[in-house]
A = this chain, B = another copy of it.
C-alpha cells in the first residue's frame, strides 16, 4: 500500500533481515547496537546519553563519543513513548476554507518566526499546523494524540466558542488575540481597544476629519480596534463614514478593492485607518492609483508595525504590536500553564502608536 524504499518511509515487514552482515541492508543503528559496541548494557547507554550522574564520567564520555562517531541519535518516538515527556508544541494557523491565502499576512509570518525562535531557545520543537477553521477540533487532536504537549493558536478568528470549549476540556492552549467577555481560555495580544483610540486621537490631532476604516469587524481583534477608534471619534463629534468597513481579511488584493470601494462612497476622505499593515499598504497603492497623495491628501495608519512598515514609502504610521515579546509571552505562558496545570490569565502587551510619514500633515491642514 505505502511506498517503501531503502530510506524506509515504511518498514512494514516485520521480517526484514536483522543481519547487518553484507553491509547493504542499512538498518538504523539503535541503542542496543551502540551498547554492544561499547561493551555495556543498553541501560547504561541510555543513561550516558541522557547525561545521568549514575554512570561514571569516563564511561559516559566514551559512549557519547561513540554515538557521535556513528551518528547515533536516540529515537524520539521511543523516548517519547516510554518517558511520556513531549517537548514539541503545536503552532496552529487556521485558514478559512474560502481564502486559503490568509497565510500572506506579514504579521503572521513574523509571529511564526518569533515563535520558532522562542521555542527553539527553550529546547522545544515546533510543529507548524494549518487547519481548517471550521474544524478547529483538529487542534485538540494534536494533544489528544500526544503529538504535542500544548497548542499555540494564532488568530482567534470567529471561533471564540470553540476555543472556550477546548479550554474547558482542559487542553493546554494559548491564543494570540484579544480578550473577550466570558472567556475561559488564555489570550496574549496587544490592547486593541487602546490601539484604536490612539489612532483616532492621532488623526484628529493631525486635523483630519473625514476618516475611513478598513477591516473586517467580524474578527474580534479588528472589532476591538474599531470600537476604540469609533469611541474617540464619537466623543469628538466626528462622523464615521457610512461605508466604514470593507470586509477583507489581511489580503493585499482585497485591500485594494476595498479601498477603491471606500473612495467611491466617500470621495472626500482625508484619512484611513486600516486594521493591518498589509491592508494599509494596499490602501496606499489604491489611493495613489486614484490620483491622491499620501499623506498630503489622505493620511493612512496601519496596525501591527511589521518589519516593512518602516521601510515602506511613505514610511507607515502604525500601531506597534511587539512581535518578539508577543512570541515570547505566548511560549512562556503556555509552558507555565503546562507546568502548573491551570489556565493562566490573559496578557495584554504594551501597545503604542508609531508615527511616521504616512499620516503627517506637512502644513497641519
Q: Which residues of A contact B (CB under 8 A)?
A: 2-12, 26, 28, 71-78, 80-81, 83-86, 88, 91, 93, 100, 103-104, 106, 109-110, 112-113, 116-117, 120, 125-130, 140-141, 144-147, 149-150, 169-170, 172, 252, 256, 278, 281-282, 284-285, 288, 307-308, 310-313, 315, 337-342
Contact = CB atoms under 8 A, between A and B. Distances in A.
A113 B337 CA distance: 28
**Copies of this chain, tallied across the complex:** 2
A7 B312 contact: no
24 contacts: A3-B339, A5-B340, A5-B342, A8-B84, A10-B84, A11-B83, A11-B85, A12-B85, A28-B144, A73-B144, A76-B77, A77-B78, A93-B116, A103-B113, A103-B116, A106-B109, A106-B307, A112-B112, A120-B129, A125-B129, A127-B127, A128-B128, A252-B311, A285-B315
Residue with the greatest number of chain B CB neighbours at <10 A, chosen from A104, A144, A149: A144
Contacts of A341: 5-7
A23 to B, nearest CB: 13
A348 to B, nearest CB: 24
Nearest to A137: B71
Nearest to A148: B76
A323 B158 CA distance: 29
Residue of A103, A120, A288, A311 most packed against chain B (CB within 10 A): A311
B81 A78 contact: yes
Given A5-B341, A104-B110, A282-B311, 15 more contacts: A3-B338, A8-B84, A10-B85, A77-B81, A77-B146, A78-B81, A88-B127, A100-B117, A116-B130, A120-B129, A125-B129, A126-B128, A128-B128, A312-B312, A312-B313
